[in-house]
Amino acid sequence: MKVLITGASKGIGAAIAEKFAQKGYDLALCARNLSDLERFANALKAKYVNIKILTRSVDCAKSDDVKAFIHQIKNDFGQIDILVNNAGIYTQGTILNTKLEDYTQMLNANFFAAIELTQAFVPDMITKKSGHVINITSITTKKLLVHAGAYAVSKAAMQSFTDNLREEVQQTGVRVTAIIPGATFTYSWLGTDIPEERFISATDIADAVLAAVNCSTGANMDEVIIRPTLGEI
């Protein structure tokens, strides 16, 4: 089985990659920082010697990068069984004060890259009558946060895309799941004064992804909401 994970060098993406590596899945991983990604991939290879790992530096906000990654996978790696659209960027700001170029960058990375990857790999899943698309969205699609208005717009687009895709492929054997995390302790929170135990862990998100994939063929986990026990931060 082969899994494609975007934004896989650290945080949620890395935790998901680790879970699939433990199960013996081959991995196609991308991230913007190639040195971080290769360091992580080499650590996985040392622990899980029987899996194949493909890595590439990809800025998911750049369509040319995404297209090149798709081309490499199809040439060197083969068909994908599970697509995890995890990559995303966050620019803090309200609807009114966020610059148009920041909206564009977030929509490109958080939404349009997932569309390109889905259109590239899901048709083959449909032909095989099996496959799974996992989209990491955000709690901002359920609970609005004023300081994250522009980011919420990009993730709302991703959530709508996920819901519509699920309906389109429902009869084909392809499953589609939205993972909807609240505040998760990742690299972006390093240096905060908030205790780590106040956050969701990246491993919690990875466990939810694995649970969705492990459902019986007759079941689809449509969405999973994971929030900090004490509420949003």
**Cβ-proximal residues to 56 (8 Å cutoff; 6+ apart), any chain:** 29, 30, 34, 68, 69, 72
User: Is residue 151 flagged as an active site residue?
Assistant: yes
- Tokens representing 216 are 């019986």
Gap between the Cα atoms of 24 and 52, Å rounded: 9
Whether residue 7 contacts residue 31, with contact meaning beta carbons closer than 8 Å, is answered with: yes
With b for 16 or more beta-carbon neighbours within 10 A and e for fewer, the 52-91 pattern comes to ebbbbbbbbbeeebbeebbebbeeebeebbbbbbbbbbbe
Gap between the Cα atoms of 85 and 8, Å rounded: 10
Nearest by Cα to 157 from 146, 169, 141: 141
Environment class of 137 (CB within 10 Å of its CB; exposed 0-12, middle 13-18, buried 19+): buried
Q: Which of 25, 48, 151, 187 is catalytic?
A: 151
Q: What are phi and psi of 100, to 5 degrees?
A: -60, -35
Nearest by Cα to 73 from 94, 54, 51: 54
The number of C-alpha atoms within 13 Å of 94 and in the hemisphere containing its C-beta is: 3
Show which residues are catalytic: 151
